Amino acid sequence: MDLSSYPRRRYTQGFTPLEHMPNFTKALRATCPDGAGPNVWVKRDDMLGLTPGGNKTRKLEFLVADALAQGADTLVTCGAPQSNHCRATLSAAIKEGMKCRFVIEERVPNTYKLDASGNNFLFRLLGVEAITVVPAGSNMLAAMQVVVDDLAKLGRKGYIVPGGGSNAIGGLGYVACAQELQQQFFDQGVRIHKIVVGSGSSGTHGGMLAGFLGNRINIPLIGIGVSRDPVDQNPLVLKEAQAVCDLLGLNITVPADSVVSHGNWWRPKYSVPNAAMVEAVQMLARTEAILLDPVYTGKIMAGLIGLARQGHFKRDESVLFIHTGGAPSLHAYEAEVLGLAEMSH
């Protein structure tokens, strides 16, 4: 499989680290029945490039190359009020000398505050050109098209980066990650038995699945939904994986049973804190000094911890957690992650 024929910009030098987590493994095992927890490894995609990086960085390498090939001068994208994807897209635009505009969906009513901290603060510091706020359930594509039409009236050319950067082109970023991992497993002599990955707009999970199928990597991928239960999430992942395989000309029909995800840990609602997230964020911070975030990776790691306690992994199995980034939004939830706020269990 040859990715080099696809236009790509580079926002990270080299590979992100593949690290063993001895202290976290010990702490996790101490809380599992019979001490039978897995050995935990982390793929540090929180160390990708772009203010700071995360999984959106990999997708944007391919999406922005496409935007430039089409002669665009402005990136237009959408997300929630604490969107890492919007912040990363804005950062990529800056690097490329482009402008950037957002459509923000208030998924939880009245959560968009102009002076909010976290990513929202970074939107302003980095100098987003314009933000349109729309209510939950709006047609985001139509709202972004309005922005592109406005730009056209000014003689400019906007390029729509889909929500989360998740389409076939964006998914190539996680095909690249699959190949990077394959190389690291070989170079570092690491054997991984299962991989835990976040599953939201599904470019990460679906792109990685396509990369695994295309490269014949036979490690089960376990998605943890950040906003949906499997009945709603799995079809999105399947569709994304298939679209990526098709773009790559792989001639593969993605087997439906290769898509596995778990719900539960995202509740009560996307981006709303819960106690398991707080435990996960504190546990990794206090055992390995690695920051998770309240909206995504805290809940995804809570899924890994929960599955370990349910006996989902064997004692000597090595499980790899894909750290997809997100730390800036910690600052929008400081009281919650310190355990100083009321929340659901």
Chain contacts with ligand PLP (rule: CB under 6 A): 54-55, 84-85, 164, 166, 198-205, 226, 293, 296-297, 324-326
Closest CA to 19 of 47, 40, 34, 38: 40
How near is the Cβ of 199 to ligand PLP at its closest, in Å? 5
Is the Cβ of residue 55 or residue 77 nearer to ligand PLP in the bound state? 55
Contact 251, 4 (CB under 8 A): no
Q: Is 258 one of the catalytic residues? A: no
How near is the Cβ of 159 to ligand PLP at its closest, in Å? 19
How near is the Cβ of 200 to ligand PLP at its closest, in Å? 3
Start-to-end Cα distance in the chain: 45
Is the Cβ of residue 291 or residue 308 nearer to ligand PLP in the bound state? 291
Query: What six digits make up the tokens of 166?
Result: 């998740």
Q: Helix or strand or coil: residue 166?
A: coil
| Options 4, 5, 83, 117, the catalytic residue | 83
Q: Which residues, 6 or more positions from 265, have their beta carbon under 8 angstroms from its beta carbon? A: 224, 225, 274, 276, 277, 299, 300, 302, 303, 306
Is the Cβ of residue 200 or residue 214 nearer to ligand PLP in the bound state? 200
Residue number with the smallest Cβ distance to ligand PLP: 326
E-strand ranges in 44-186 read: 74-79, 99-106, 130-135, 158-160
**Measured between alpha carbons, how far is residue 92 from residues 49, 63, 140, 164, 191 in Å?**
9, 10, 21, 14, 34
Is the Cβ of residue 74 or residue 297 nearer to ligand PLP in the bound state? 297
How near is the Cβ of 91 to ligand PLP at its closest, in Å? 13
Is the Cβ of residue 78 or residue 151 nearer to ligand PLP in the bound state? 78
* DSSP β-bridge partners for residue 104: 79, 133
Residue 261 φ then ψ, to 5°: -145, 165
Q: What is the torsional sign of CA 172, 280, 83, 326? A: negative
Contact 103, 143 (CB under 8 A): yes
Q: Helix or strand or coil: residue 278?
A: helix
Alpha-carbon gap, residue 304 to 269, rounded angstroms: 19
Is the Cβ of residue 273 or residue 325 nearer to ligand PLP in the bound state? 325
Pairing of strands 194-199, 18-20: unpaired
How near is the Cβ of 197 to ligand PLP at its closest, in Å? 8
How near is the Cβ of 75 to ligand PLP at its closest, in Å? 16
Task: List active site positions.
Answer: 83
